[in-house]
Amino acid sequence: MRAGVESDVVRLTLEVDDLGNITPTAQIEGNVVVGETIQIPDLYETHNVTAEARLDLAGMQVQPAEAIYEPLAKGQPATFYWSIRPQETGLYRGTVWLHLNFVNKSTEEEDRIAISAQIIEIQAVDFFGFSVNLARMTGVVGSVVGGVIGFPFLEDILRFLFKRKSNGKR
């Protein structure tokens, strides 16, 4: 992804099969990473199960910055989205944290289990070796220079157009 210009979306999907096992799948910029299937006990009848995910990336704007919660149910996927935007070029390393929260339906007792901490790397590049601000300034200067160089020919272009228009009326 390009530094300072664009943001991209990181998507984490938790596929829950009919047995309650979870398979995480992360996707960014068309790259898909499928994690190992996580086997958890079948607590869906006695507990409310909630997935908690957080994306930590130092040096990059991440929205939302706090943890995201999604309910889990057998056979139903849970999906988490983050918008990320690097300010500078470089390799950014971070961690996607995944926890499961269990709340007993009868006793209201809560339990939290860390399931996964996946390391991710994102490469932010620049425009032909130029910083984003330099590339923008070069574009502005090029437009101004093009306008100045083209200005002397403006009179010839207008004369040609008006001459053509006046010849058409005769």
Alpha helix ranges (H) inside 64-151: 132-150
Q: Which residue has the higher pLDDT, 124 or 113?
A: 113
What is the pLDDT averaged over residues 50-77?
Answer: 88
Which residues lie closer than 8 Å to 149 by C-beta, 6 or more apart? none
**Residue 83 pLDDT > 70, yes or no?**
yes
Kindly report which listed range (2-6, 80-84, 99-103, 111-115) carries the lowest average pLDDT score: 2-6
pLDDT exceeds 70 at position 5: no
Total-model pTM: 0.64
Tell me the average pLDDT across 139-152: 73
CATH 2.30.30 corresponds to the domain 8-124 = no
**Local confidence band at 68 (pLDDT 50, 70, 90 cut-offs):** very high
Return all residues near 72 (Cβ < 8 A) that are at least 6 apart. Answer: 14, 16, 22, 44, 49, 50, 51, 78, 100
What is the pLDDT averaged over residues 149-161?
Answer: 73
